[in-house]
């Protein structure tokens, strides 16, 4: 395969990893965002945490692999993004650490203060992580000032423009809804009833932010929509996205939460695709000078490395899907607390 084809394939694979991460860890983060609001007592809080207990770690590996694959396939983009968003990444790391250890530590000690502390760490870590992911996506769409090497030349304030913040808030609402739908499937009784109200609320907030983001993007960021003129079929993704958003209240109303959750997965999947379509062929857009943009062609590793990595992915991914299915199958159904639970 020639170099350009390999680069495009790897752009697609990175998209797939990001999509896997956003859908899977998305509901983990969402459960964390809802944590102070929905579960009312210690038992319910434990149910919420144990709903994601067995799976969150595997879900986070999608992000780790996304990062590793970006490093290997597009080192220039990895270097530019990670060093350019230095403070954001440090905050993200702090948030992900807080999220991870709070689940592990929380139920190990029977003290109200101890548990309350870790409950807040769980909420804070999840919310900040979701917000930062959204802000990063927003910044990637509007672009950053870059020098010829690809180093970020702006300041932190450049990364806190209204658009990235809007996308960040939308992400928080989206993941809260997504996590709520997942929890709805894993819980029963009064807890599940209370969750219902929060599903409607988060869906409503998401809908408003989703529309605002759409309007902002169409009106003010011409680069993001250029590819849709090139490839009219890309409009289909938009249609599916809108239908999926609309399908959530419909299926909820008719008491089909499984379908609502799948629709929410579809919303996330289509948003990641739209993000990819808005970027292509750039990985990082230079807002100051288009020639400085980091594209999939200028950032790619050698064809040899991309081929080796492709072989690794082809061998590895079926195994990954197999483990993932085994785990989700083994822990299907409503959450049951036992002596081994968090």
Q: Within positions 262 to 321, which residues make up the interface with another protein, using CB under 8 A?
A: 297-298, 301-302, 304-305, 308-309, 312-313, 316-317, 319-320
Does 112 participate in binding another protein (rule CB under 8 A)?
no
Interface region with another protein, contact rule CB under 8 A, candidates 32-40, 49-57, 194-202, 220-228: 49-57
Min separation Cβ 25 and another protein, Å: 12
Nearer to another protein, 228 or 331 (CB): 331
DSSP E strand stretches across the chain: 282-284, 294-295
Interface region with another protein, contact rule CB under 8 A, candidates 97-105, 127-135, 189-197, 211-219: 97-105
Q: What is the largest CA-CA distance in the chain?
A: 61
How far is the C-alpha of 184 from the C-alpha of 162, rounded, in Å? 33
What string marks each residue from 1 to 40 as x (binds another protein by CB under 8 A) or -? Answer: ----------------------------------------
Q: Which of residues 136-155 bind another protein (CB under 8 A)?
A: 148-153
Confirm if 32 and 122 have CB atoms less than 8 A apart. yes
- In a 3-state reduction of DSSP, which class is residue 283? strand
Interface region with another protein, contact rule CB under 8 A, candidates 100-108, 195-203, 216-224, 255-263: 100-108
Interface region with another protein, contact rule CB under 8 A, candidates 37-45, 58-66, 213-221, 238-246: 58-66
Helix (H), strand (E) at residue 342? none
Min separation Cβ 10 and another protein, Å: 11
Nearest to 37 by CA among 183, 158, 164, 147: 183
Nearer to another protein, 86 or 254 (CB): 86
**Would you report the helix, strand and coil content of the chain in percent, each value rounded to 5?**
80, 5, 15
Contact partners, residue 222, CB within 8 Å, separation at least 6: none
Min separation Cβ 149 and another protein, Å: 6
How far is the C-alpha of 322 from the C-alpha of 332, rounded, in Å? 15
Confirm if 134 and 167 have CB atoms less than 8 A apart. yes
């Amino acid at each position: 395969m020639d170099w350009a084809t390999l680069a495009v394939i790897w752009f697609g694979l990175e998209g797939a990893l990001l999509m896997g991460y956003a859908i899977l860890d998305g509901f983990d983060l969402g459960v964390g965002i809802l944590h102070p609001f929905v579960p009312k007592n210690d038992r319910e809080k434990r149910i919420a945490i144990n709903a994601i207990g067995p799976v969150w770690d595997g879900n986070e590996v999608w992000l780790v692999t996304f990062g590793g694959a970006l490093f290997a396939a597009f080192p220039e983009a990895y270097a530019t993004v990670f060093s350019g968003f230095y403070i954001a990444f440090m905050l993200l790391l702090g948030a992900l650490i807080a999220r991870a250890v709070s689940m592990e530590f929380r139920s190990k000690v029977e003290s109200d203060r101890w548990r309350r502390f870790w409950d807040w760490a769980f909420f804070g870590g999840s919310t900040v992580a979701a917000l930062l992911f959204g802000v990063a996506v927003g910044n990637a769409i509007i672009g950053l000032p870059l020098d010829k090497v690809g180093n970020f030349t702006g300041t932190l304030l450049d990364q806190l423009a209204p658009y990235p913040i809007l996308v960040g808030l939308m992400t928080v609402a989206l993941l809260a809804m997504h996590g709520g739908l997942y929890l709805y499937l894993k819980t029963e009784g009064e807890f599940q009833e209370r969750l219902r109200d929060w599903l409607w609320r988060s869906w409503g907030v998401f809908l408003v932010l989703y529309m605002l983001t759409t309007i902002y993007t169409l009106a003010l960021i011409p680069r993001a929509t250029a590819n849709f003129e090139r490839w009219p079929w890309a409009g289909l993704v938009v249609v599916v996205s809108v239908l999926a958003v609309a399908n959530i209240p419909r299926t909820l109303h008719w008491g089909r939460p499984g379908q609502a959750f799948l629709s929410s997965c579809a919303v996330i999947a289509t948003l990641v695709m739209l993000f990819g379509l808005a970027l292509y062929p750039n990985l990082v857009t230079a807002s100051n000078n288009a020639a400085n943009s980091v594209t999939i062609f200028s950032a790619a590793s050698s064809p040899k490395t991309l081929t080796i990595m492709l072989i690794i992915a082809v061998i590895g991914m079926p195994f990954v899907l197999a483990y993932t299915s085994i785990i989700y199958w083994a822990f299907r159904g409503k959450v049951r607390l036992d002596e081994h639970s968090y």
